């Protein structure tokens, strides 16, 4: 298992070197694509993002569509060969694992965990507490506060216990904040109050004391009201000895918006609290149809996210939210937008892929 932090590449001089080197052309990085890592004096590089990430001190992961994993051989080969961690895109969400109250279906999630073990990959569990993708019996039920609290405790305990010893990082609480920094008006906040967050972490920790426990959210890449509110919350939780170990920064960007160039400053705030961090769901969507300029802007968006992680000692995972445009969630959620991933529908790498390789290669060279 990789160390949780990197011991090099974070001093001010190293940071300047790392950032300045990103102006190299992505074509030069792509030129090293076919070689194996050699000894001193060789210019060849490891083939996969996962191997390059290992040399730079972090895992490189992807969210996995388990239907595609079972049915699409090229997809399966890319997941196995390109990445060193995996996240269950949907099959660990509550509506899937407990479609009827008290009846669990772990089959698809178990298959992903087994696949990861066979391929030497770590698993990020996603997600235990969320306001979305809840089973119908829960959304439609009329539960007292005490009943709902027990339902949540049981769900967290059952799921974490089922996967005990097999999950590296859990997204325990997902998307608990509004963009203005207030807590989201969810079933959990309305019925249980803000204390549900601390309870969730305590229950998860009891079920698997060795798993690393994260709070995960979107639009917290830069310093803003939402990321500041999250920083204040995790500060309070840590002071109360709640077992929060990390913060997942999702990284869903769009080329039509400014990239979060203050991401390293933001991530270092969490680093100073002794927390791990991860870029947990990176993608960069484009208004369709995509042109070459937008693809270059997309590459820079991915690079901004990765640089923020590399310049933060406690950032130990960089996960793309899917890697092929064929299976992207973006077109259904953002009509008229797409092409958000690092490979196109035919698994041809885009400039973003080459830029990630280049960035990781440069970081590894300073290790």
- Full pLDDT tens readout for the chain, 367 residues: 333 334 333 333 334 334 443 333 333 333 333 333 333 334 454 589 999 999 999 999 999 999 999 999 999 999 999 999 999 999 999 999 999 999 999 999 999 999 999 999 999 999 999 999 999 999 999 999 999 999 999 999 999 999 999 999 999 999 999 999 999 999 999 999 999 999 999 999 999 999 999 999 999 999 999 999 999 999 999 999 999 999 999 999 999 999 999 999 999 999 999 999 999 999 999 999 999 999 999 999 999 999 999 999 999 999 999 999 999 999 999 999 999 999 999 999 999 999 999 999 999 865 5
Crossing angle for the helix pair 196-207 and 225-239, nearest 10 degrees? 60
Maximum distance among all alpha carbons in the chain? 68
Half-sphere exposure for 164 (CA within 13 Å, toward CB) = 12
Residue 103, both tokens: 């009846």
- Count helices and strands (H / E) in the chain: 16, 10
Which one of the listed residues 82, 89, 98, 175 is annotated catalytic?
Answer: 175
> What is the spatial distance between Cα 77 and Cα 110, in angstroms, rounded to a whole number?
19
What confidence score (pLDDT) does residue 367 get? 52
From the list 275, 284, 364, 366, the residue with the least C-alpha distance to 312 is: 275
Angstrom distances, CA of residue 317 to CA of 2, 4, 40, 246, 305: 10, 9, 27, 11, 11
Q: Is the dihedral of CA 340, 343, 349, 354 positive or negative?
A: positive
**Burial label, 131 (beta-carbon count in 10 A; 0-12, 13-18, 19+):** middle
Which one of the listed residues 82, 98, 276, 281 is annotated catalytic?
Answer: 281
Question: In this structure, are strands 246-249 and 276-287 parallel, antiparallel, or unpaired?
Answer: parallel
175: annotated active-site residue: yes
Torsion of CA 75, 81, 85, 90, to 10 degrees: 10
111: annotated active-site residue: no
3-class secondary structure for 53-94? Answer: HHHHCCEEEEEECHHHHHHCHHHHHHHHHHCCEEEECCCCCH
Any idea which residue has 């899937």 for tokens?
A: 96
What residues contact residue 13 under an 8 Å CB cut-off, 6+ apart?
A: none
Q: Which letter, b or e, does each residue of 85-95 get, where b requires 16 or more Cβ atoms within 10 Å of its Cβ?
A: bbbbbbbbbbb
Alpha helices (H) along 175-291: 187-192, 196-207, 225-239, 263-272
What confidence score (pLDDT) does residue 194 get? 98
What confidence score (pLDDT) does residue 47 get? 85
């Amino acid at each position: 298992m990789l160390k949780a932090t990197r011991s090099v590449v974070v001093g001010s001089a190293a940071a300047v070197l790392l950032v300045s080197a990103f102006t190299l052309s992505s074509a030069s990085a792509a030129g090293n694509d076919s070689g194996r890592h050699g000894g001193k004096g060789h210019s060849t590089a490891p083939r996969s993002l996962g191997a390059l990430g290992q040399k730079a001190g972090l895992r490189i992961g992807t969210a996995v569509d388990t239907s595609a994993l079972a049915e699409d051989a090229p997809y399966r080969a890319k997941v196995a060969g390109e990445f060193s961690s995996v996240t269950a895109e949907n099959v660990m969400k509550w509506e899937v694992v407990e479609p009827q109250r008290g009846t669990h279906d772990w089959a698809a999630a178990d298959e992903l965990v087994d696949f990861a073990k066979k391929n030497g990959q770590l698993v990020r569990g996603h997600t235990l507490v969320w306001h979305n993708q809840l089973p119908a019996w829960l959304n439609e039920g009329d539960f007292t506060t005490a009943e709902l609290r027990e339902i949540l405790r049981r769900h967290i305990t059952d799921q974490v216990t089922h996967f005990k010893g097999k999950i590296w990082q859990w997204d325990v609480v997902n998307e608990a904040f509004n963009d203005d920094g207030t807590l989201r008006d969810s079933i959990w906040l309305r019925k249980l109050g803000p204390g549900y967050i601390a309870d969730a972490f305590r229950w998860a920790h009891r079920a698997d004391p060795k798993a690393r426990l994260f709070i995960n959210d979107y639009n917290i890449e830069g310093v803003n009201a939402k990321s500041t509110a999250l920083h204040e919350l995790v500060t309070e939780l840590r002071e109360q000895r709640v077992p929060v170990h990390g913060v997942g920064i999702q990284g869903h960007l769009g080329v039509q918006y400014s990239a979060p160039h203050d991401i390293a400053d933001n991530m270092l705030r969490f680093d100073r609290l002794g927390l791990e961090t991860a870029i947990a769901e990176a993608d960069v969507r484009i208004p369709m149809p995509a042109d070459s300029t937008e693809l270059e802007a997309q590459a820079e968006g991915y690079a901004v996210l990765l640089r923020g992680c590399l310049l933060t000692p406690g950032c130990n995972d960089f996960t793309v939210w899917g890697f092929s445009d064929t299976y992207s969630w973006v077109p259904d959620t953002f009509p008229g937008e797409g092409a958000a991933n690092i490979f196109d529908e035919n698994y041809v790498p885009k400039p973003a892929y080459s830029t990630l390789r280049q960035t990781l290669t440069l970081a590894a060279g300073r290790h």
